[in-house]
Amino acid sequence: MAHPTTGKRFVALSAAVALGFGGAMIAGPASAAPSTDLKTAAAEAFTSSESIAAIGHGEDGSLVAQVVAGSDEAEVEKALEPANAVAQDQTGEDLVVQEVASTYSTQSPEPSSTATDGAAYEASDDVVAGAGYVVETSAGAGLCSVGFPATGPEGEDAIITAGHCSGGEATGDVYVERPSTSNVFTDSYDTAEWDQSRKLGEFTHSQYGPKVLGDVETDADLDPEQMQDFAVITVDESAGFNLIGEAATWSEESGQADDLASDTTDITGVHDVTSEDIGSEVFHSGRTTGKTAGDIGWDESNGKVSIGIVDGYAPVTDDAGNEYMVYGFASETNVAGGDSGGAVMMGDKAVGVVSGGIEASADMPAMLWTAELAEGLTHLPGDYEIKTSGESTEDPSETPSEDPTEEPTEDPTTPAPTPTETDDADVDAELSVDPQEIAAERFLAEDEEQAESDDRGVKYTVEGVEPGSEVLFETFTGSDAASANAGSEEAPAEETDQEPAKSITVTANEDGVAQSRIWGMTTAEAEAYIGEYDVVAQTEEETLEGSFSVVAGDGDQGEGGDEGEGGEDLPRTGSTVAPLAAGAAGLVALGGALVYVARRRQA
Amino acid sequence: MASDEQTSSILQGRWEAEVPTTAFLEFRGPAPVGGLLGGKPGEGVLSGSDGCNGVGGWYAPDGETATIRRGLSTLKACPGVDTWLSKASSVRADGTVLHVYDGTGEEIGVLTRAET
C-alpha cells in the first residue's frame, strides 16, 4: 500500500465513506455536524494543497482525508498537519489518508472511450429525437434526452432540448450516449457509456425560468416569456452527425443494435396544444423510460378527478431546490430521471420537451410536465425549425412527405391556397363577433359545456368560405387589455410584433361556416379579463378583422372600459386576486387562460 | 410567501444529507391554501434536492412526523450520484436527526438539521 506521504496511517476505506461528489467538501456524521476545528483544519488543507480531494468523518468516528495519488508528498503532508492534529485531539488516532484518482471535478463515470473494459463505443452518425446524451459542464456530467433535431437561423444543425439540462446556462459539451447502456435496457444509471471521441455539439442557448415561484404573486406575474425550459445544442457539423426528424421508439432491437434510427416514429410538424387537446394522448421518447404514453389530463379510469391543464404554469424544482416556473401542459405519462429534455409528441406532431415529472405513488398516477414547444420556439434566439420526417442533414434533396410550415405553430397539413380570390367564393367571407361587448362575469365559463349552454364568452363566425377549408382565428389583447397579463400566450412587449393571445384553426363545414368560441377560465377573477380584444380570422383567401371588449360589471355600462391603464396597473386588488387554481397534484393552472372550442359541426 | 412563522411544526428548517452533500430537504411554513402553491389545509411547503434533481412539494406535519406530497421536479440523470432522497415519502424528526422513509415505510436514510 504505497503512498507518497509518510508518517500517516493508510487505511482502506469502505464505500460507506463516500463523501459525495461535485467538489472537495467536508462531510459530517449523521449525528453531529463537523466540529469547527475540523472545518478550520479542512479549509487550511484545501487552501494549502490542490491535491486534497476530501476531508470528513469515516467509520467509527475516525477522521479521513482523501488525497490525489501521485501528488507532492511534502506539500500534502504539510497541508494535512492541522487536520491530523484535530484527528489526534478528537479521536486519539492519526488522520486516515486514502488515495483517490482525482479530486471530485465531475460526477460522471468514465466515458466508454477511456473505459478499461469492453471496446470503445463509437456513436452512430444518426441522431434522432429521444436519444440520450451527456452534457459536461463545470458542475459535472448529467444525462438528458434529445428533444428535437432542428435547423437554426443560419441553416445550421441544432437540437432543441430542456434548458435545465445545462442548468439554464448556455454552456456545456454534449456527447451521444450509447443506447444499449441506457436505463431503458439496463434499468441502471451505472451502466451509461458515451462516445467522448466525437462531440455532438454544445449548448449555445438555455433558458430555465428564470422566474421562480416566489416571483409570482398574482396572475399578472405569469409570463410565458419568463417561464421557459428550452435550450439549443448547436451541432458540430464537422463531426459528421446526421440529424433525423424522427423519434426513437426504443424498441429492444434498435437499442441493442445501438441504432435508434432503425425504429422511429415520424415527426411531421409542430402542434400548438390547446384545451381542445385535453383527453388526447401524448407520448414521450427518452433514455430512461424509453417510449411511454399518457393522456393530457388525468385518466378517470383510476377513479381520480380528471384534470386537464394546458397553456399552464408550474414550478419545476431543480437540483438546488429552486422552483423555476415553466409554461406548458400536464399529462399522465410515466417519466423518470434522464428523460429530461426528451421529445413529447402527439401523434406525428411535436408538442414539447420533458421538463419535470412526478413519479407514480399509491394515490396518484405518474405525471409529466411538458414545456410547450409551440410557445418555446418563439422565445429562442432566431428562427429554429424542427426537422421533419424525410429531411435529414445528409439528404436535403429528399422532399418531406408533409409540408413543414414556416410557422410551426399550426397544422402543417393546411392545403395550399390555390383558389384565387374569386374562384369558388360566390360571396365574400364575413366575420361576425358576438357579442362585441360582454360583461366580465359573462365572459367566464367553467368549461365548454357551460359556455355553450349559457351562451357565455364570445362567439366568432366566419361565413362564406369554401366548405372544408381552414380558417385561423387569432385573438389579440388590445393595448389596454388587462388580460394581456392573463392570456395563455403572453403578448410580447413590442407592440409592433404582437402575437395572438390565442389562436386556433377551424375547418369550415359544408355550408362554408367556421365557428369558434372563446371564454375566460374561472380560475381567474373575472376582472382579469377586462379590456379590448382584436380578432383576426384568416381564411385561405383573405384576412377578416373584428373586435370585442370585456367590460366591468354586468355589461350595461358602455363606458366601462377605461380602467385598463395599460397592462401593468390592473383593476383589481391584490388581496382578492387568487386566480391560480390548485390541481389535485398541486399544479399551477394559469387563471387567465383563454379557452377556445372550435365548432366543426353544422352551424 | 413561503415561510411564515405561524406553523408549529418542529420540522421547519433545513435538513442536510451527508451523501450526497448537495441533498437536502427544507420544510417551510404553511402553503397558501387554494392559492398558487395549491396547498391543502395544514400543509407546508417543501423544497429540496436529491443531489441531481429537485425534491419539492408539500408536507403534512403531525407532531415530529410528516408525510410528503411531491410536486414537479426536473428529470436529469446524474451518473455516480446516489439519489436516495428522491424516494422520500415521510419523515420523522428525532432531535437533530431526520429519519427519511420511502413509500413502503422503510427507512432509507437520515438527514441532519443544518446549523443556523
Architecture of A430-485+499-553+571-577 per CATH?
Sandwich (2.60)
- Per-residue pLDDT tens over the stretch A198-212: 999 999 999 999 999
Q: Any chain B CB within 8 A of the CB of A522? A: no
User: pLDDT class for A2, splitting at 50, 70, 90?
Assistant: very low
Residue A306 is predicted with a pLDDT of 46
Instruction: Mark yes or no for CB contact A107/B78 under 8 Å.
Output: yes
Identify the residue among B36, B47, B67 best suited for mutation to test binding to A, counting A beta carbons within 10 A and taking the highest: B36
pLDDT more than 70, % of chain B:
85
Give the range among A428-432, B13-17, B49-53 with minimum mean pLDDT.
A428-432
- Per-residue pLDDT tens over the stretch B43-80: 888 999 999 999 988 999 999 999 998 889 999 999 88
Residue A415 is predicted with a pLDDT of 41
- Per-residue pLDDT tens over the stretch A344-362: 999 999 999 999 998 777 7
Residue A290 is predicted with a pLDDT of 97
B55 occurs within a structural domain: yes
Between positions 558 and 597 of A, the ones with CB within 8 A of B are 578, 580-583, 585-588
Residues 6+ apart with CB under 8 A from A576: A525
B88 occurs within a structural domain: yes
Is pLDDT at B95 greater than 50 in this prediction? yes
A312 phi/psi in degrees, rounded to 5: -115, -175
Q: How far apart are CA A386 and CA A266, in angstroms?
A: 12
What would the mean pLDDT of A103-131 be, rounded to a whole number? 62
Q: Any chain B CB within 8 A of the CB of A287? A: yes
- Per-residue pLDDT tens over the stretch A69-103: 667 777 788 888 888 888 788 777 788 776 655 44
Q: How far apart are CA A435 and CA A297, in angstroms?
A: 31
Is pLDDT at B19 greater than 50 in this prediction? yes
Copy the grid coordinates of residue A188: 441502471
Residue A109 is predicted with a pLDDT of 39
What would the mean pLDDT of A295-302 be, rounded to a whole number? 62
Is pLDDT at A266 greater than 50 in this prediction? yes
Residue A229 is predicted with a pLDDT of 97
Is pLDDT at B96 greater than 90 in this prediction? yes
Q: Residue B24 maps to which CATH number?
A: 2.40.128
User: pLDDT class for A262, splitting at 50, 70, 90?
Assistant: very high
What would the mean pLDDT of A521-547 be, rounded to a whole number? 79
B36 occurs within a structural domain: no
Per the structure, the complete domain to which residue B58 belongs is given by 4-30+41-113
Residues of B in contact with A355 (CB under 8 A): 72, 74-75
The C-alpha R_g of chain B, in whole angstroms, comes to 13
B11 occurs within a structural domain: yes
Q: Any chain B CB within 8 A of the CB of A178? A: no
| The total number of structural domains that make up chain B | 1
Residue A511 · residue A603 · CB < 8 Å:
yes
- Per-residue pLDDT tens over the stretch A127-177: 999 999 999 987 778 999 999 999 999 999 999 999 999 999 999 999 999
- Per-residue pLDDT tens over the stretch A576-596: 222 222 222 223 333 223 443
B93 occurs within a structural domain: yes
Write the DSSP symbol of residue A407. S
Higher per-residue confidence, A475 vs A223: A223
Residues of A in contact with B110 (CB under 8 A): 30
What is the rounded average pLDDT for all residues in chain A?
A: 72
Residue A365 is predicted with a pLDDT of 75
B96 occurs within a structural domain: yes
Q: SS3 for A124?
A: coil
Q: Where are the domains of chain A?
A: 35-392, 430-485+499-553+571-577
User: pLDDT class for A182, splitting at 50, 70, 90?
Assistant: very high
DSSP letter string, B55-99:
--EEEEEETTEEEEEE--EE--B-TT---GGGG--EEEEETTEEE
B35 occurs within a structural domain: no
How close is the nearest chain B Cα to the Cα of A327, in Å?
A: 13
Instruction: Mark yes or no for CB contact B75/A190 under 8 Å.
Output: no
